[in-house]
A and B are shown apart, each in its own frame.
Chain A
Amino acid sequence: MYFRIIRNDISNSKLITLTTMIFVAAAAMLVSLAAVLIVNLSGSIHTLMTQAKTPHFMQMHSGDIDSARLTAFAKQQGNVEDFQVAEFLNMDGAQIILGEHSLVNSVQDNGFSTQSKKFDYLLDLDGNIIHVNDGELYVPISYMRDNTAKVGDIAMIGGKEFTIAGFLRDSQMNSSLSASKRFLVSEQDYAEIKNLGSMEYLIEFRLKDMSELRAFEAAYAAAGLEANGPTVTYTLFKMMNALSDGMMIGIILLVSVLIVVISLMCIRFTLLAKIEDDYREIGVMKAIGLRVSDIKKFYLAKYAAIAAAGSMLGFALSLVFKGMLLENIRLYMGESHNSSYASLFGIIGILFVFLAIIAYANRVLKRFRTISAAEAIRYGTAQEKNTGTNRFNLSGNRLFSTNVFLGIQDVLSRKRLYVTSLIVLVISAFIILVPQNLHNTISSKSFIQYMGIGSYDMRVDIQQTDHISEKTAEILHTMNSDPAITKAAVLTTKTFKVKTEDGSEENIKIELGDHSIFPIAYAKGKAPAEDEIALSAMNADEMGKQVGDAITVVINGDEKALTVSGIYSDITNGGKTAKAVFTDDTADMMWSIVSAELSDKALVHEKVSAYAERFDYAKISDIDEFVSQTFGSTISSVKKAAKAAIIVALIIMVLVTLLFMKMLVAKDRHAIAVMKAFGFTNSDMKIQYISRSVIVLIVGIIAGTLLANTAGEMLAGAAISSFGASMFRFEIDPLSAYLYSPMMMIGSVLIATVIGVSGVGQIKISENMKE
C-alpha cells in the first residue's frame, strides 16, 4: 500500500520530487566526498611522512656551523634517535632555468640538496627513495603541477646542464605554504654547483619519544646552538601538508551543510503545502481512529523513498568525482594506506544525511497532533488565528494597489510556508555576498597593512649575503640622494633570546628600525616606542602575551624588560615576528629590508629595474608585485570561488522559486478561480504572486546581507586567521554588494516567479468552483 501511495504522490508532483531528490543527492555526494577526502588526506600524509622519515625537529640555519658541538649535543640528549645536518644550497631564481621557464620571478626560496643518508628522504612519485645519477635533476612536484617543468626537459642550473629525470615529494616543503623548495642532484653535481649559491643548513633530529618534543625544543634553545633561521617541528610539517586540502574539505563540508538545509526547506515546503491540502483527509483519518503515527507513515514513506534514492545517487556520484578531488592529494602525498576505509566513512556520512532528512520530515509532521479532527472535517482548514491579518485590512489599505496588498496579505497569513523560501533566499544571498566581500577585502590596498606590510611602493630585500649592514647602508644612501624617492626606511631583522614563563629561553625574530615611517595597522595597541615591543598575533598567542604585558629579551647577554605596545597581523615569515626600536650592534643580522615611497607612482617599474641592475645582491620588488606573488594565487582563487558562488546561488534561487511558485499556484487554484470569477484578470493574479515573491525576496536579501556582514565576516575572519591575521573587517564594495548583487537576485527571482506562475492562465473557473 505504501508503494502505491508513494507512486501516486510522486506522479502528482514530479518536479518538486525530482528537485528535492537532486538536492539530497548533491548533499549526500558532498558529505561522502568530504569523508573520503578526510580519510585519504590523513592516510596519505601519514604514509608520506613515514616513508620519508620526516624530522621531528628541524632548525634552519644560515651562517657558520659547528658540527662537533651539534653532534655532542645530540649524543648527550637521551631522547635523540637520529641526528643529521643536511645542506640546502639556496640559489637565486635567475640561475635556475627549467626547460623554457626561468624561475627568476619565483617567490620561493629554491635550493639544491643531495639525498639524505639517514632520514628526511626525498621520494619519487611511487613513494620510493630516489637514487639520483650524475647529470640528473629531480624537481619539486609543485613545478609539475603548474606546468613549469616536465620529465626529459633540459635544465640549466647556474650554466650547468641537467636532464629532468623526475619529480620529487618532499615531506617538509611540499606545501605551497612552505616558502622553500628543494631540488635533488647527485653528490658530484652538488659539489660542482656548490659555490653558486648561499649555504643554509637543515639541522634535523628524529626523537625516540615525540611527546617530549617541547622539552627538546627548550633544551636546544637553552644550549645556545645554531638558530639563525626558522624552527619547524613534526606537527607543523603535518599541518602544512594538510592545510590546503584541509581547507578544500572545510569548504565542501560547509557547502554540503547549506545544501542539506536547502533540501530540508524543500521538504518542509512540500509537506506544509500537502498538509494544508489534505487537512480534511487528515481529520477524517484521525476521526476514524488512525493513530498519528500511522498517518505520519503515509507521509513519511515518500520522503524515505526520496532520501534513499537521493543518497544512493549521491554515493554513485561521489564515486565518479572522488578521483578528481583525490588527484591533488595523490600527486603531492601519494596513495593512502587506509583508503579502503574511505568508502565506509563515505557511506556513514551519507547515512547521516539520510537520517537527518527523515528526522526532519518527522518533526514537521508533528503538526498532525495539533489538528483537531472535528475542525478539520468541518472547515477543511487550520483554524489558527493570524495576528498579522487583523491589523492589515484591505478596507484600510491606501498604500498598495489591491493586487500588491493581497500578495503581502498572503505572505503575512502563511508565514510558516514562506519562511521556507525565505531561508533558501537568505542562504543564497549569504553564498553570493560572503565570497564576494572576502575577495574585495583581500584585494584592497588597506588589507595589506593588516597583513604586516606597510604602505610603500618599492621594497628591497637583502638576505643570504654577507656584509648585510654595509650593503643596506649603501642602498639607503643611494635612496636618500635619489630625488624620485620621498621616503625610505630600513628595517633589520635579528634573532634574540626571549625568557619564557618557565625560565627557559626561546628564539624570537625582532624587526628593528623606525616603524613610524611606513606604519602598519595594529589589531590592538600601537607601534613600539623605546623599551617597547610589538608582537605578531601568532607570537602573542603562543607566548600568551597581551598589550601591556612585559617581556624579557636577552640582548648582548643582558636581560632587558620590554613592554608589549601592540599586536599586529602578519603573514610574512611564517607569521611569527616582532617589532622594536632599540639599537643593537651585537646580534647577527638575519636580513634587512629597505622600503621606499616614490613621488611618482608611475616610475615604480623603472626604479625597480634600475635598482635591481645596480644592486645585484638584493632582491628588489614592486610592492604590488610582491603582494600579488605572496598571495596573488589566493586572491585569484577566491575570485574564482566568488564567481562560482554567485552562479550556484542564482541557480538555487531560480530553481527553488520556480518550484515554490508552481506548487503555490496548484494549491491556490480554488482561490485563483474565485478571484477570476469576480473579474480579476490573469495579470492581476500574476502581480499578486510577484508581490509575494518580492516581499519574501526583500526580507531575504536584507537578512542575508546582515548575516553575511556578521556571521559571514566571522567565518571569513576565522579562515584568514589561519594565515596569521588577527583582525578582520570586511571591506565592502557598496556598488557590488548593495546594488548589483541584489539586482541580480531580484532579476533571477522575478524571472523564475513569472515562469512559475504562468500556469495561472490555465486555471478554469468552471473546473474549480465545484467541490
Chain B
Amino acid sequence: MKKLIIGDHIVKSFGEGDERRHVLDGVSAFIKEGEFVAVMGPSGSGKSTLMFALSGTDDVNGGTVVFDNQDLSAASENELSDIRRTSMGFVFQQPTMLKNLNILDNIILPSMRDHRRNAASLTIKARALMKRVGIAELEKRDITQVSGGQLQRAGICRALMNSPRIIFGDEPTGALNSKSAQEIMDIFSEINEEGTAIMLVTHDANVAARTERIMFMSDGNIVSELQLPKFDGTDMDRRVESVTAKMLEIGI
C-alpha cells in the first residue's frame, strides 16, 4: 500500500545552549494509507512530539515530513491549516471541546468553517456519527454535562466530520476506564476498516494490541517495531501478550 506520510530524519529540539535537548533525534517513520499504527514508549521518549511532527502541527528543526507528496516542512501556516482541516482528524486525551458550544456544535465546528451553507446536511451527518458512536441523545448537552467517555466519542465524531484520510490520537483512552476504552477502540477499529488511517500514541498494551503495527520509542528514536495481523475480534490475549513481551524485551 502507498505511504501516506513519510518522516525522514526528523530532528526536534527544545531549550537553548547547554540545555538543548533533542526530543526527536533524527527519527524516520512512515504511515501507509489505511494503516492502523500505534506509538509506544516511556514518558519523555518523544511519542507525542513525533505525532505532532508527522501531522504538521509542530515545525521541526531538521529532516522532512511529506504528506501525500506534499512537503509539510515547506508548507505555509495556512496550507498546513488547510491540510489539517480537510485531510486529518485529531482526538486528544483530555476533552478539547469549546466550552461555549453544545456537543452538536462542537462536532460540526471544523466543517462549518468551509461549508456553512450546508449546515443542514452537516447536522444530518453529525447526527449519524453520534448515533453510530452511541451518543445520539446528547447533541443539545453542554460539554460539562456528559461523561469523559461520551466526550471522547464526541471528539471522534468531530475528527470524522471532514472524512479525513488519517486520524491522530494522543492517548485517546488515557483518561477513560477500561470498559469505555474498549468501546472507543471498537469505534477506531470500525473506522479503520472503512479505510481511514489511524495513528495512536499510547501507554496501554491493550490499546496497542488492536493495531497492526507498533513503533517503540526511547530517547527520541524508534528502537523497535512490532507487526501484527489485522485485528478481527479474536486472539486479543495473544496480541496483548506479544506486545508486552516486546516491551519487556526492549525494556520500556
Report A's interface with B, CB cutoff 8 A: 379, 381, 383, 385-386, 389-390, 393-398, 401-403, 406, 409-410, 413-414, 670-671, 674-684, 761, 764-766, 769-771
Residues B57 and A677 in contact, CB atoms below 8 Å apart: yes
Residues A394 and B158 in contact, CB atoms below 8 Å apart: no
Q: Which residues of B contact A379 (CB under 8 A)?
A: 144
Q: Does B119 make an interface contact (CB < 8 A)?
A: yes
Residues A403 and B113 in contact, CB atoms below 8 Å apart: yes
Closest to B52 in A: A766
How far, in Å, is B53 (CB) from chain A's closest CB?
A: 9
Q: A386-B100, A395-B104 are in contact. List 10 more A-B contacts (CB 8 A).
A: A394-B104, A394-B112, A413-B100, A678-B84, A679-B83, A679-B113, A680-B85, A681-B77, A765-B52, A769-B96
How far, in Å, is B77 (CB) from chain A's closest CB?
A: 6
How far, in Å, is B11 (CB) from chain A's closest CB?
A: 15
A402 contacts which of B82, B96, B102, B109 (Cβ < 8 Å)? B109
Residues B116 and A402 in contact, CB atoms below 8 Å apart: yes
Residues A395 and B58 in contact, CB atoms below 8 Å apart: no
A679 contacts which of B49, B86, B99 (Cβ < 8 Å)? B86
Given contacts A381-B144, A383-B144, A395-B104, contact A765 B58 (CB under 8 A): yes
Q: Which residues of B contact A409 (CB under 8 A)?
A: 100-101
Instruction: Give the contacts of B86-117 with A (CB-CB under 8 A).
Output: 86, 88, 90, 92, 94, 96-102, 104-105, 108-110, 112-113, 116
Q: Does B81 make an interface contact (CB < 8 A)?
A: yes
Please give me the 6 A-B residue pairs with the lowest Cβ-Cβ distance, nearest first. A679-B85, A394-B105, A678-B110, A679-B84, A766-B58, A681-B81
Complex-state Cα separation, A395 to B144, whole angstroms: 19
Closest to B120 in A: A395
Residues A769 and B108 in contact, CB atoms below 8 Å apart: no
Complex-state Cα separation, A27 to B158, whole angstroms: 50
Q: Which residues of A contact B58 (CB under 8 A)?
A: 764-766
Residues A394 and B57 in contact, CB atoms below 8 Å apart: no
Q: Which residues of B contact A383 (CB under 8 A)?
A: 144
Residues A410 and B90 in contact, CB atoms below 8 Å apart: no
How far, in Å, is B122 (CB) from chain A's closest CB?
A: 8
19 contacting pairs across A/B (C-beta < 8 A): A389-B101, A389-B102, A395-B104, A398-B116, A398-B119, A410-B100, A675-B109, A677-B57, A678-B85, A678-B90, A679-B81, A679-B84, A680-B81, A680-B85, A681-B82, A682-B81, A761-B77, A765-B52, A771-B94
Q: Which residues of A contact B113 (CB under 8 A)?
A: 402-403, 679-680, 684
Residues B119 and A679 in contact, CB atoms below 8 Å apart: no
Given contacts A409-B100, A766-B57, contact A394 B109 (CB under 8 A): yes
Residues B144 and A769 in contact, CB atoms below 8 Å apart: no
Q: Which residues of B contact A681 (CB under 8 A)?
A: 77-78, 81-82
Residues A397 and B49 in contact, CB atoms below 8 Å apart: no
How far, in Å, is B224 (CB) from chain A's closest CB?
A: 25
Residues B99 and A677 in contact, CB atoms below 8 Å apart: no
How far, in Å, is B95 (CB) from chain A's closest CB?
A: 10
Q: Which residues of A contact B94 (CB under 8 A)?
A: 769, 771
A677 contacts which of B86, B96, B101, B104 (Cβ < 8 Å)? B96
Q: Mark B174-199, 1 if CB is under 8 A from A, else 0.
A: 00000000000000000000000000
Closest to B96 in A: A674
Residues A677 and B116 in contact, CB atoms below 8 Å apart: no
Q: Does B202 make an interface contact (CB < 8 A)?
A: no
How far, in Å, is B147 (CB) from chain A's closest CB?
A: 11
Complex-state Cα separation, A214 to B94, whole angstroms: 83
Most chain A beta-carbon contacts within 10 A, residue among B77, B94, B116: B116
Q: Does B48 make an interface contact (CB < 8 A)?
A: yes
Q: Which residues of B contact A684 (CB under 8 A)?
A: 81, 113
Q: Mark B143-178, 1 if CB is under 8 A from A, else 0.
A: 010000000000000100010000000100000000
Q: Does B123 make an interface contact (CB < 8 A)?
A: yes
B142 contacts which of A385, A402, A766 (Cβ < 8 Å)? A385
Residues B101 and A394 in contact, CB atoms below 8 Å apart: yes
Q: Which residues of A contact B105 (CB under 8 A)?
A: 393-395
How far, in Å, is B7 (CB) from chain A's closest CB?
A: 15
Residues B90 and A397 in contact, CB atoms below 8 Å apart: no
Residues A389 and B84 in contact, CB atoms below 8 Å apart: no
Residues A671 and B98 in contact, CB atoms below 8 Å apart: yes
Closest to A399 in B: B116
How far, in Å, is A447 (CB) from chain B's closest CB?
A: 50
Complex-state Cα separation, A21 to B53, whole angstroms: 43
Complex-state Cα separation, A259 to B131, whole angstroms: 55
Q: Which residues of A contact B90 (CB under 8 A)?
A: 677-678
Residues B119 and A397 in contact, CB atoms below 8 Å apart: yes
Closest to A671 in B: B98
Q: Which residues of A contact B96 (CB under 8 A)?
A: 670, 674, 677, 769
Complex-state Cα separation, A633 to B166, whole angstroms: 75
A769 contacts which of B86, B92, B98 (Cβ < 8 Å)? B92
Residues B123 and A395 in contact, CB atoms below 8 Å apart: yes
Complex-state Cα separation, A769 to B77, whole angstroms: 18
Complex-state Cα separation, A376 to B52, whole angstroms: 30
Residues A402 and B112 in contact, CB atoms below 8 Å apart: yes
Complex-state Cα separation, A675 to B112, whole angstroms: 12
Complex-state Cα separation, A397 to B88, whole angstroms: 25
Q: Which residues of B contact A677 (CB under 8 A)?
A: 57, 84, 90, 92, 96
Residues B104 and A676 in contact, CB atoms below 8 Å apart: no
Closest to B102 in A: A393
Closest to B115 in A: A402
Q: Which residues of B contact A765 (CB under 8 A)?
A: 52, 57-58
Closest to B161 in A: A678
How far, in Å, is A280 (CB) from chain B's closest CB?
A: 13
Complex-state Cα separation, A84 to B170, whole angstroms: 100
Given contacts A765-B52, A766-B52, A771-B94, contact A676 B81 (CB under 8 A): yes
Complex-state Cα separation, A402 to B105, whole angstroms: 11
Given contacts A383-B144, A410-B100, A677-B96, contact A397 B116 (CB under 8 A): yes
Residues A678 and B158 in contact, CB atoms below 8 Å apart: yes
How far, in Å, is A443 (CB) from chain B's closest CB?
A: 48
Q: Which residues of B contact A670 (CB under 8 A)?
A: 96
Complex-state Cα separation, A414 to B100, whole angstroms: 9
Closest to A395 in B: B123
Complex-state Cα separation, A677 to B155, whole angstroms: 12
Given contacts A674-B98, A766-B52, contact A679 B116 (CB under 8 A): no
